[in-house]
A and B are shown apart, each in its own frame.
Chain A
Amino acid sequence: MSTATDDRREVTSFDADDHQRPSEPEWGTLRSRWRATLRYMRRNPSLPVGLALLSALILFSVIGGLLVDIGDTRVMSAPHSRAPADNLWFGSDRQGRDLFAVMVHGTWLTVRVGLIAGAVGIVFGASLGFIAGYFGGWIDNIVNWTVDVLLTVPAMLFLVVIATNVSTPTEPLSSTTMAIIIAALAWRRPTRQIRAQVLVMRTAGYVQTARISGASNLEIIFLEMIPNLLPYLVASFVTAVSAAVLASVGLEAMGLGPQNEPTLGQTIYWMIQSSAFMMGLWWWILPPIIALVILFVSLYLINVGIDELSNPRLRRKA
């Protein structure tokens, strides 16, 4: 037995592929771990920059929300069309809304619509994608066919039709309802993307190994497949959130949004309605646009960063 073991060891020493594969720096002590993380962040700045921008935006909204009364976002809470001043930081619009209060509450409302619609879309889409891709057969055919058909229809058309039918003059739309309307279509793309990933992963060696290890279908999906899809799911979620924000702003700018809530898109609607451009009320025009730009750019950077983190082929080597 001992001789057999010895020559095995000797043969193993011929393995040349060990030191060929470049790998991440050693993860030892807490300090070196920190340094490795910092080094990585310097190489891949999109993720930290994107997260910083997004947190800044949300912090502005959350901390501001503690200081500013929601009542100040209502019409006539301030003198109208005033430029920014000491007691009116962002000025006011033509109907006399305090624009600082509007920005504080509107930013969060808009982000919330995106989060709700994105979350519903990704959970529903991922479930359908997994069912279709993993089990296949006629379920797959039905899901695939439905998604294919729905993808050809312009989303805005659907949303406009639904929104106009849901909102009535006596009971205007709330931003939560609007988020759910948007979610009704947000699952299409995740379904298709995740189905494709599952189809590839289903034949992976470790899935087969789990199967012959006696794992059930649910175990294979939740313990073997989902962990490996996690970066992908997060990236899909971020994409879904930005798509949902875009859809909500679109609806609101057309005047189909929540009339009683000061979301960013709704602010843009009022500003168009009241000819803010012609009146030169720049303090009304700029803040919602800047907030939206920061939001979209941060979501984009986060997405690029996650992609780089999870896809070693894109990982730049220092």
Chain B
Amino acid sequence: MPWVLTVPAALALVFLLLPLAGLLVRAPWSTMGERLAEPRVLEALRLSLVTATLATAFCLLLGVPLAWVLARGDVPGRRLVRALVTVPLVLPPVVGGVALLLVLGRNGPVGRLLYEVSGFSLPFTTAAVVVAEAFVALPFLVISVEGALKTVDPRFEEAAATLGASRLRVFTRVTLPMVAPGVVAGAVLCWARALGEFGATITFAGNFPGRTQTMPLAVYLALETDPEAAIVLSLVLLAVSVGVLAGLRGRWAGAS
């Protein structure tokens, strides 16, 4: 192996793992048990897992069709649409949260309509957490599914079409199975991003234990007064996410 590649690769690995090692070194191992047993930790963890999963489901439902349109559809201004889809990637999440608040809040154009019709206001609810996470995570799914779609040889789809399959049938029976690994990879990225979401969530959904306080929010607030508690919470989030991602990798994304 050429050292020009291996040395930077090793540096990259150290760069990524050193901060994690720092967490492990500073963790208050002696009091770990009692800190983990606090009901608020489990409450935040459960909320994080539930909302990240719901956000991923929401992204799959809307994101896969969007990726298909971007890769295959014959829409004008496709390049512009693609650029717009990536905006949430570069937008600071807090700005995303403010934007959501301005549109979906009870004084926003959409939110007001909803509020006047149903008396329901989205901010400060668990649903708002899911919306904030999905807003930030959706581009990850769309981009990876679109990339996968582009590598599929269109002749398979054409063959199915010449045999009489409708476009929808081609999509569900030919295209989707072929891009399944890309969809899984996108969903995993999307889930991981949703799980770690902080800025948009605290801005749009607020912070209330059991309802909108996810793990990253709990970590941030713990850091204000009790850095050790923040480290414990971070480690829990880290362990759970690594566990889930490793499990998924083995099961669906194939051994690599």
**Bound pair (A, B):** no
Using a CB–CB distance below 8 Å, which chain B residues touch chain A?
none
